[in-house]
Structure 1
């Protein structure tokens, strides 16, 4: 069996920066608890490792003790939650991905003055909740082109179109072009999708065309990982999304001559290597 690995599989820049910062804080804390408001990234194996080192995940600002150190996760938080943290007199260490922070500030800068935000993203994703909190004149959140088409856009209003940083760039560009060419509609297009996301999706697309089967490694709750699997499947290539090698049915793969492997931006290299080793052993 031939096993092909995507070049950029695994940690992206934002995740790598966030984990490096957390590692330094854990080392400096010398056993004292460190709080994170929500999971630092969407990978259960990474979260388990930090929990064993005394890192505590807080779901609300109220769960962080006054005077404690709290880390803002790579996905970012809402403006309201950040304000609540500051009122609690805690030490804030911001590990928000620079790409996400840029998207937040772009939305803050260009909304307002009767310019409403149209955001392409997942309603329950923490990054999305943070992004819409920066909109200064209302927002409409949609997860598909069909949802946006059903929303009554008015030529009397102005809009800003943006996207969750890990969304499908090709689909976003199609949505943007349709709005851009709609007569009498004033829409400002913001480029908020991360280049790393585009690169990973392009690689997954190309790799899926070269192999008989695709394996995507990463957390089941990771939006960018799920999209990599969708991109592969859109080529008609059989695909499995797994968190670890234990989730992979190796018997199912014995009949395939070539298997492509890629991974989400929050997937540790060791989990990718374990999957590759198991495939090569076939």
Structure 2
């Protein structure tokens, strides 16, 4: 059986930077309790490793002791949470992905004149909650074109369209084209989807068309990993989404000639290598 690994499998730049910053804080503050506000990234295996190093996940600013140290996760936080942390006089180390930070700034800048934000993303995702908090006026979050079409947009309304950084670029382009074609709407389109996400998805789709089976490695709670599995499935290729090699359905590969492997942006290299090693044992 031939096994191919996608070139862009594993950590993206934003995740890599976030973990480097957390590692630096741990090194600079030996023996001190380090808090992260929510999971630093969406990968349970990585979180377990940091828990063993004494890193504590705080669910709210109130969970961080006054005068303590908190690291902001790669997904970013809301403006309200940041203000609450500042009021507690804690040391803030910001590990927000630069792409997410840029999206926050753009949304704040382009909604300052009262435009309503239309945000393509998962309403309950921490990155989306953070992005919405930067809107100066009303915000509408939708997860599909169908959801957007059910929204009662005002005739002659003024809007800003943006997206969660890990969303599907092709679908975002369709949504933007539909809104820009509506003559009664004044829409400013912000291109906030990360190029790395687009390239990862494009590479996975191309690989899916060349192999008999695909494996996507990464956290089940990772939005970008779930979407990666979905765009692969859309090609008609059998696909399985696993967190570790132990979850591989080995019986599925017995009569397979070729398997493609890719991984989400928050998946560490050793988990990918574990999958490759187990597949290689066939």
Same fold (TM over 0.5): yes
1:72 counterpart residue number: 72
| C-alpha separation in 2, matches of 1:7 and 1:223 | 20
| C-alpha separation in 2, matches of 1:176 and 1:109 | 19
- Give runs of aligned pairs for residues 190-269 of structure 1, distance below 5 A: 190-269=190-269
| C-alpha separation in 2, matches of 1:153 and 1:123 | 18
| C-alpha separation in 2, matches of 1:23 and 1:183 | 51
| C-alpha separation in 2, matches of 1:128 and 1:275 | 31
Is 2:81 the partner of 1:81? yes
| C-alpha separation in 2, matches of 1:3 and 1:197 | 23
Of 72-81 and 152-161, more deviation after overlay is shown by 152-161
DSSP 3-state at the match of 2:219: coil
| C-alpha separation in 2, matches of 1:47 and 1:75 | 15
- Give runs of aligned pairs for residues 19-168 of structure 1, distance below 5 A: 19-168=19-168
2:273 counterpart residue number: 273
Q: CA deviation at 1:225?
A: 0.2
| C-alpha separation in 2, matches of 1:200 and 1:149 | 28
- Give runs of aligned pairs for residues 8-19 of structure 1, distance below 5 A: 8-19=8-19
| C-alpha separation in 1, matches of 2:30 and 2:115 | 48
| C-alpha separation in 2, matches of 1:86 and 1:167 | 31
Aligned length: 282
Per the normalisation by structure 1, the TM-score is 0.99
| C-alpha separation in 2, matches of 1:235 and 1:128 | 28
| C-alpha separation in 2, matches of 1:80 and 1:22 | 22
Q: CA deviation at 1:114?
A: 2.7
Q: CA deviation at 1:156?
A: 2.7
| C-alpha separation in 1, matches of 2:188 and 2:73 | 29
Contact 1:31-1:53 within 8 A present in 2 as well: no
| C-alpha separation in 2, matches of 1:246 and 1:124 | 29
Contact 1:73-1:94 within 8 A present in 2 as well: yes
1:20-55 per-position Cα deviation (integer Å, ceiling 9, x unaligned): 111111112212110000000000000000000010
Per the normalisation by structure 2, the TM-score is 0.99
Runs in 1 of length 4+ with deviation above 4 angstroms?
A: none
Q: CA deviation at 1:182?
A: 1.1
1:95-141 per-position Cα deviation (integer Å, ceiling 9, x unaligned): 00000000000000001323100000001100000000000011000
DSSP 3-state at the match of 1:271: helix
DSSP 3-state at the match of 1:70: strand
Contact 1:114-1:157 within 8 A present in 2 as well: no
Note the residue ranges of structure 1 that are not aligned, 5 or more in a row.
none
| C-alpha separation in 2, matches of 1:58 and 1:70 | 9
Note the residue ranges of structure 2 that are not aligned, 5 or more in a row.
none
| C-alpha separation in 2, matches of 1:222 and 1:266 | 8
Contact 1:37-1:73 within 8 A present in 2 as well: yes
1:69-112 per-position Cα deviation (integer Å, ceiling 9, x unaligned): 10000000000000000000000000000000000000000013
1:180-207 per-position Cα deviation (integer Å, ceiling 9, x unaligned): 1111210000000000000100011100
1:149-191 per-position Cα deviation (integer Å, ceiling 9, x unaligned): 0111123320000000000000000000011111121000000
